[in-house]
Each structure stands twice: as C-alpha cells, then as structure tokens.
Amino acid sequence: MTDTPGWASPGSSEPPRDGARPPADAPAAVPGQSAPPHDAPPAWGTAPGAPQPPYGQQPPYGQQPPYGQQPPYGPPGGQFGWGAPPSPKPGVIPLRPLGLGEILDGAVSTVRKHWRVALGLSFGVAVVQQGVALGAQLAVQGDTGELTPVLTSLVSLPLAGLLSVIASALLTMVVSRAILGQSVTLGEAWRDARPRTLQLIGLTLLNALILGGIILLGFTPLIGYALSGAAEPAITALLVIVGTLSLPVAGWLGIQLSLAAPALMLEKQGVIAALSRSRRLVRGSWWRIFGITLLSTVIAWVVSSVISTPFTVAGMMLGWSDLTSQLDAGDSTSMPTAMLVTLAIGGILSSTITLPFTATIGVLLYVDQRIRREALDIELARAAGLPEYGGTGWGGQGGPAPARL
C-alpha cells in the first residue's frame, strides 16, 4: 500500500485537458464480439433473443415491428451489441459525470458504508469543540458582561477551526478510497493525510484572509466614516450599499477557490498551485457548483436544526426557572448550566451527522469536475482494477477485487 491514492494526477499543475474525454457517440467495442458493419440494417425480430434472418434477407411479412418502433440492438440492459455499456460503480459513485442526485447519494453512501471512521471522526471533533466552548462559558459565567460571547468565541473558534481542517483532511482520504470501493481505517486515513495537513491549514488561513479581506475592504469606508463622527444618513446608506456589494464578490471568489483543498490533498499540490487549480476546474461550472454547494448547505442546516431543536426545547424547560431569575436580576449575559449542557449535547449530535456530509460533497464535486474535464473516470477504473476495453468504455462492473493502494 502506498501513502497516496493511486488516481492522483502526477501532472496536476498543467491546465485541464478539457477535450480528453472521447466523444459520447463513439461506438464501444466488446471483447470477443465484432460490431456489425455500419451499413448493415438492423435485423428485425419479434422479441429480444428471437431467431434473426441472415444479413440481407428480410423477415417474413407479419414479423416486422409496428411502424415507427425501432428494434433493440441487443439484449435488454444494453450490455452487448451496439448498446452503451453501463458505467462501472466500484464504490459510492458511478465512474462518469455525476448528476445532483448522484452527488448527494454518494455523500450519504460514504457516511453509511464507512460510518465507523466518518461518524467516529466527526463525533470526536464535535465533542472537543463543544467541550471547549462549554468550558469557556462555564468558566466565565457572565462575569465579563457583554464581552462574554466575544471572549468565549476567541477561545473556542481557533480550536474548532483547526479540528475542522484536520477532520476535512481525513474525510478527504476516506472519500478517495470509498470511490474505489476500498475500506480505510482511521490510522490509514491519518497516514495518507498527515504529510499535507500543515499545507491544508495554511490554505484554509489564506482562504479566510482573502475572503475576509475583500469584505473588510468593502466596509472600510463605512467604518472610517462612522469613526469620524459624521452621521449623514444619505452618505451612511451609500456606504452600506458599497460594503454590501463586497459580499457577492467574496461569495463568487469563495466558489472559485472551493476545490482547492481536495486538489491539495489528492494531487499533492502546493497552496498557490491548488488555488489556481481550483479556479481552472470551476471555470465554466460556477453556477452548478454554487447551486450544489448551497443545496448541500441548506440540507445540512435543516438536518442540524431537526436534531438540535429537541435539545434546545429540553434545555429551556430544564433551565427556565434559573433563566427567569437571572433576567429578573438584570443578568442577560449568561445562561443556566443545564441549558448550556443540553445545547452542547445537541450540537455534538448535529455536528456528528452534518460534518462528514458537507466534507464529502466538496470532494465529490472535485472528482466530478475532473471526470468531466480530464476523463478521470478512466484512471479511477484502472485504480479500482476494472477491465478496460477499446479505450472508450468499460467491460462491465465485474472484474478482480479492487487493488489496495
């Protein structure tokens, strides 16, 4: 077993080969069979598998199909003859350009088939994140007044971000093996991801600085105008509009750079090369990637809300008396301990489910773009040990067991 997925592109720094995929209408040959001549008319029969007349001889009258109905070119399923061969599916996705449903199904299938690693990893990350945030809130207990939420965020957010990056790196390795139909342990995933983890942290920080810098640049005139003490409503409204315009710019660039992390992990790119690689892969597919990313985020938010809402209600019920006492005393900066603990439990469960789903979506989008632009499905099928024929397709879904990489 090597330390990297076998389908990582060794020449990943070169521009995408947009024309590498064979034409969709190219005939696929099947080993052991010879395709009929292009000028040979299809033989008519009463049913698939019925005896066919010799070439050049018409069948008797009455055995021809009704007018306008074409005969099949082979047995049902199109596995032989002139029918297109089925796309192989050694793992969680078929090896061809993916639709929206296949990407979502691939994410769910990855979590379901590799739940020990995926859910165990996300559960551990969620426990640490929620535990640190809960500990910071209990330690402060509202003694810092209105600065309490800010201080607890400063303590918990850096660690939460670091753990999320590490989890994403490990889940990327899990998905790369799941596509090939291979299982992976947490130790194997860490061994594959460890050499690139520091670079992934740097990439994440650089992404945050780029997008945050764009937003800060857009709102800088408004901040400067407010600090100057001026309060002209018309100018303030104009500067608010100028600052708001930076948000879609940051969103557009965020999608452009959204595939940089999988490129860095799976192709062994550098940080700057991975950012450039992501822009090339996204080019021409921005709206599609944006739509799938937005939909997956909404799905994750809905699932998270469904899981955490009962715990929020339970926390309100358990800590209602303490909460009303604090509000009566004028303390609105802290929550009762029972409520904090219950909310933390709900956060752990919701993060355990949603974190691997959203991380898997990003990797599958990256794989889908490389299949569409660079015919990565051929390399994936070879890495999975599937038999190849003719250079234009695959002989079926059978074959030797997937090779360990």
Report, in angstroms and rounded to the nearest whole number, the Rg of the chain calculated over CA atoms.
28
394 membership: H or E segment, kind and range: strand 393-394
Residue 333 — pLDDT band, cuts 50, 70, 90? Answer: low
- Per-residue pLDDT at 29: 38
DSSP 206-253: HHHHHHHHHHHHHHHHHHHHHHTT---HHHHHHHHHHHHHHHHHHHHH
| Highest mean pLDDT (candidates 63-77, 247-261, 311-325, 328-342) | 247-261
Instruction: Determine the Cα–Cα distance for residues 19 and 119; give it in Å rounded to an integer.
Output: 39
Contacts of 1 (CB under 8 A, 6+ apart): 188, 404, 405
Region 393-400 average pLDDT: 37
- Per-residue pLDDT at 384: 84
Quick check: 263 pLDDT over 80?
yes
Instruction: Determine the Cα–Cα distance for residues 189 and 18; give it in Å rounded to an integer.
Output: 31
Residue 20 — pLDDT band, cuts 50, 70, 90? Answer: very low
pTM of the shown model: 0.73
Q: Which residue has the higher pLDDT, 387 or 159?
A: 159
Residue 69 — pLDDT band, cuts 50, 70, 90? Answer: low
Residue 258: name the closest of 161, 139, 366 by CA.
Answer: 366
Contacts of 169 (CB under 8 A, 6+ apart): 193, 196, 197, 200, 265
Q: Which residue has the higher pLDDT, 44 or 333?
A: 333
- Per-residue pLDDT at 274: 95
- Per-residue pLDDT at 395: 36
Instruction: Determine the Cα–Cα distance for residues 153 and 180; give it in Å rounded to an integer.
Output: 40
Instruction: Determine the Cα–Cα distance for residues 184 and 165; give it in Å rounded to an integer.
Output: 19
Per-residue pLDDT of 186-242, as tens digits, reads 999 999 999 999 999 999 999 999 999 999 999 999 988 888 887 788 888 999 999
Per-residue pLDDT of 238-247, as tens digits, reads 999 999 999 9
- Per-residue pLDDT at 306: 95
SS3 359: helix
Contact between 383 and 180 (Cβ < 8 Å): yes
Residue 111: name the closest of 165, 175, 177 by CA.
Answer: 175
Amino acid at 319: G
Q: Where are the domains of the chain?
A: 100-378
Q: Which residue has the higher pLDDT, 32 or 84?
A: 84
Residue 88 — pLDDT band, cuts 50, 70, 90? Answer: confident
Residue 119 — pLDDT band, cuts 50, 70, 90? Answer: very high
Quick check: 331 pLDDT over 60?
no
Contacts of 136 (CB under 8 A, 6+ apart): 151, 152, 155, 156
Per-residue pLDDT of 270-302, as tens digits, reads 999 999 999 999 999 999 999 999 999 999 999
Out of 6-15, 215-224, 344-353, pick the least confident: 6-15
Per-residue pLDDT of 137-183, as tens digits, reads 777 765 555 666 677 777 778 888 888 899 999 999 999 999 999 98
- Give the rounded distance of the alpha carbon of 10 from its chain centre: 22
Region 62-80 average pLDDT: 48
